[in-house]
Chain A
Amino acid sequence: MKRMGFLSWALWFGYAFLYVPIALLILYSFNESRLVTVWGGFSTKWYAELLHNDQLLSAAWLSLEVAAMSATVAVVLGTVAGLALARFGRFRGRTLFGGMITAPLVMPDVITGLSLLLLFVALEQLIGWPDGRGVTTITIAHTTFTMAYVAVIIQSRLVSLDESLEEAAMDLGARPAKVFFVITLPIIAPAIVSGWLLAFTLSLDDVVVASFVSGPGSTTLPMVIFSSVKFGISPQINALATLMVTVVSVGIFIASLIINRQERQKQRDEQMAVQGG
């Protein structure tokens, strides 16, 4: 009994540690006073100011663009990579491939950023591409480290999945490509959606890699936040943070509802199929 007390105490402490800072951040975004941590009354003026900050808005737009593009490419590449790791068995160079998938998960950002920048500089000298650095180079960099996360999600989903459906389709004469699009893809669709969302948020979150590979005129939102935070805290950043936290929470909530409903629907269908047959 005493031990359960300790455990729930530890759990509540953990949640408080995770959520109190975010709650305070949101609270102070409605503060009238410019001094962020001194309460001066309720106000939404920082949100209004945010809407007139053109630098911030254009950076936000650029970040969303890069995140959407890199997440889409990362989902395609990562799904193929996860499929290869889970279903292709042993192939030549599998160890190297597996290594290149898991290493980016833990690689410090500064190393990824520096190495990609040096690659882009060397490529530009050799073949003249990429011509300068900007949206393209940031997108390539983000695709490279986010596809690893997608691949791991897809791989673990496929590994826990029964192969017999795919085998049955093969036995009935379906070609591998058809099996993939008709059988495998619909089953792993929820994993693909969460992979895309994860890649999108990781890209939207990155400041270090983007700082290395961006050029003049391509400043992403995290880079703007980072440089303004270095000069101290401002209520505008609180307001921006509140908006981002709200959008992400609502998005995750809706996505998890949809995924849950689909899973339940699928289970029901499977049960019906078993009972019917």
Chain B
Amino acid sequence: MINRLRRIGLWGRGAVLAVPYLWLLLFFLVPFLIVFGISLSESVIAQPPYAPLVEWLVDEDAGTTKLQLLLNLSNYLRLGGDDLYVLAYLNSVKIALVTTICCLLIGYPMAYAIARAEPAKRGPLMMLVVLPFWTSFLIRIYAWIGILKANGVIDNLLQWSGLTTAPFELLYSDWAVYIGMTYCYLPFMVLPLYATLEKMDPTLLEAAADLGCRPWKAFLTVTLPLSLPGIIAGSLLVFIPSVGEFVTPELLGGPDTLMIGRVLWNEFFANRDWPVASAVAIALLLFLVVPIMIFQHVQGRQAEAER
């Protein structure tokens, strides 16, 4: 009886699980296989603009049909051979790294201060960090255009104070991209940092102080190592999506702010070269596989620790 019930239970579980599982397989995993396949095909002027990978060849004379599989690596060779793509990848990594470091420098003291605040205040203070994340990403980027442009807020302030006389434009430069991306991704850094710092036992620091350890040394030898899981999780949450960022460099960056997300977008929408766009996506994905796997590992460990 119990066995039968358990079997029904297991069967029910399987049926329940199957729905999200199949959804993700179809709409998350299979698309990557298709992208990979199309990255190996040839660009043609047709609808859709790529040559089929597999074709039936009918030989009239011999009366046979053959299945032909056409794979070409030329899209990948183009990525490696053209400076544009290599530079775009390198520049994306550079911008993502700078963004991550800026978020860490601003976010760590914030998370630390909130975690050390009175327990009743922590909730509202965290709420204030998360609230901008709920308002549109696009709107937040847009807000910076008015601040950074020539005759914008910063420019007007500088001219009014007499520091500069000529119009000064920060917009359409790499600086604007750093500011905009740090601004948008900051909550992603503060959240995991706060989660680890808040759980930390404050008596550890008291013990260090009692043993004559200076505050800065206690911070470096006790707090910092203990908050490492938060630092890693936060950095990856910022770094990985930053590498493929499109909206911020498109709106705040200059025409020479090369980022791989922009290259992919242009190959797809402007050049209508789907195979090359796919190859760019696969190359980006290969680059991100290692950080994504580290992120999953950290997430999994976090879930285990909460048990």
1/0 contact trace for A213-239 toward B, CB 8 Å? 000000000100110011001000110
B144 touches A119 (CB 8 A): no
1/0 contact trace for B140-157 toward A, CB 8 Å? 101111110101110010
Q: How far is the CB of A72 from chain B (nearest CB, A)?
A: 14
B142 touches A25 (CB 8 A): yes
**Residue in B125, B129, B134, B264 whose CB lies within 8 Å of A110:** B264
B247 touches A207 (CB 8 A): yes
Shortest 9 CB-CB distances between A and B: which pairs?
Answer: A108-B244, A10-B109, A115-B31, A21-B143, A106-B240, A119-B31, A81-B20, A14-B110, A7-B113
**Residue in A38, A97, A119, A230 whose CB lies within 8 Å of B251:** A230
A7 touches B142 (CB 8 A): no
Nearest-CB residue, chain A, relative to B107? A14
A118 touches B109 (CB 8 A): no
Q: How far is the CB of B297 from chain A (nearest CB, A)?
A: 10
A122 to B54, CA, bound (A): 13
Contacts of B34 in A (CB 8 A): 115, 118-119, 122
Give the most central of A104, A111, A121: most B CB within 10 Å. Answer: A111
- CB contact under 8 A between A6 and B139, given known A24-B153, A208-B247, A233-B146: no
A100 touches B151 (CB 8 A): no
B160 at the binding interface (Cβ < 8 Å): no
A132 to B101, CA, bound (A): 43
**A-side interface residues, number (CB < 8 Å):** 88
Q: How far is the CB of A46 from chain B (nearest CB, A)?
A: 14
A118 touches B296 (CB 8 A): no
B159-196 contacts to A, CB under 8 A, are 183, 186, 190
A102 to B127, CA, bound (A): 24
A6 to B108, CA, bound (A): 12
B228 at the binding interface (Cβ < 8 Å): no
**Residue in B16, B23, B243, B306 whose CB lies within 8 Å of A84:** B16
Nearest-CB residue, chain B, relative to A151? B20
B135 touches A248 (CB 8 A): yes
B-side interface mostly: helix
**Residue in A28, A140, A222 whose CB lies within 8 Å of B136:** A222
A-side interface mostly: helix
Give the most central of B114, B136, B264, B307: most A CB within 10 Å. Answer: B136
Q: How many CB-defined contacts (below 8 Å) exist between A and B? A: 235
- CB contact under 8 A between A110 and B265, given known A17-B106, A97-B24, A115-B31: yes
**Residue in A80, A116, A122, A208 whose CB lies within 8 Å of B19:** A80
A22 touches B143 (CB 8 A): yes
A74 to B235, CA, bound (A): 27
A99 at the binding interface (Cβ < 8 Å): yes
B230 at the binding interface (Cβ < 8 Å): no
B17 touches A241 (CB 8 A): no
Nearest-CB residue, chain B, relative to A256? B127
**Residue in B26, B35, B113, B138 whose CB lies within 8 Å of A229:** B138
Nearest-CB residue, chain B, relative to A177? B12
A208 touches B246 (CB 8 A): yes
- CB contact under 8 A between A252 and B131, given known A104-B28, A110-B261: yes
A111 to B29, CA, bound (A): 12
Nearest-CB residue, chain A, relative to B216? A3
A267 to B277, CA, bound (A): 54
1/0 contact trace for A154-196 toward B, CB 8 Å? 0110011000000000000000110000000000000000000
Q: How far is the CB of A115 from chain B (nearest CB, A)?
A: 4
Contacts of B143 in A (CB 8 A): 21-22, 24-25, 241
Give the most central of A24, A97, A108, A143: most B CB within 10 Å. Answer: A108
